[in-house]
Structure 1
């Protein structure tokens, strides 16, 4: 199912950034039909709940180890986790996505991943 949009959430993610993007994707003309054009799913370091800056907890669909290979786009959601060591584990996921022609986007602090040598 390559209509998945996968959102990478790290601890202390910025919940509002994921909300605006996911709502826009889910609110297209196909969203309320049986076969939506895109499906939003969450990827996190583990399958344990991920806490946002504001204290919301989200249960991921996938961990870094269990995320599928067939997806349309990868969205890195900002927050304070991008300054933590766990962010280094995202680099191979992004590198693989780019090599396989996937759409990759980053919001706010998540953009800092692209300014590092992790992707080289």
Structure 2
């Protein structure tokens, strides 16, 4: 992986807790995380935190990125305001650049047609069925799923989501990836020694 910049989408009602593990550990392993908003105007997360995007969505190019991360937000289901982020995800995937979507962002990708022919997951299958998408046969009842540069996860699985990102970007591999997951998901203290070696 030569590109070391990861782009994190931020928008009003952004679910703060869903990407903390992912972005913190990417930063600790030499990646730069830049935030992308609908514009460069500040947004307010679901937790009430104001965030100032580094750049506007229309200035984001797949060739400048190693990964686009999309989190859940009430807006995914309340209106079409976030549809441009799903369209940008299509541009990333078409360019061979990975996308990671968790929680409500999976519904946005379903509406965009990006889950019609890829293995994927979400909160529950009927949540995505309500979007009218045609990918139900590819739904997997799993914590997180990676298929052809697209990672999906449900809202209760930020650690599994991070694990898939780390595997895809080569941050951790093999025994260390397993140890990281056991430490942060299962509170398995024995994994710390492996991870720190």
Question: Which TM-score applies when normalising by structure 1?
Answer: 0.83
The alpha carbon displacement at 1:118 in A equals 5.5
**Aligned equivalent of 1:79:** 73
How do residues 41-120 of structure 1 correspond to structure 2 at under 5 angstroms? 41-69=34-62, 70-83=64-77, 84-117=79-112
The aligned length equals 112
**CA-to-partner distance for each residue in 1:57-113, whole Å, 9 max, x for gaps?**
110011112224411000001121212221111122111100110011101111112
CA contact under 8 A between 2:86 and 2:112: conserved in structure 1? Answer: no
Cα contact 2:37–2:55 (8 A) shared by 1: yes
Gaps of 5+ in 2: 117-197
* C-alpha contact 2:10 2:35 (8 A) present in aligned 1: yes
Unaligned runs of 5+ in 1: 29-35
SS at match of 1:65: helix
Greater fraction strand: 1
For the pair shown, the structure with the greater C-alpha radius of gyration is 2
Instruction: Confirm whether residue 26 of structure 1 aligns to residue 27 of structure 2.
Output: yes
RMSD of equivalent CA atoms: 1.8
Note if contact 2:36-2:56 (Cα within 8 Å) is conserved in structure 1.
yes
**RCO higher in structure (CA 8 A, sep ≥6):** 1
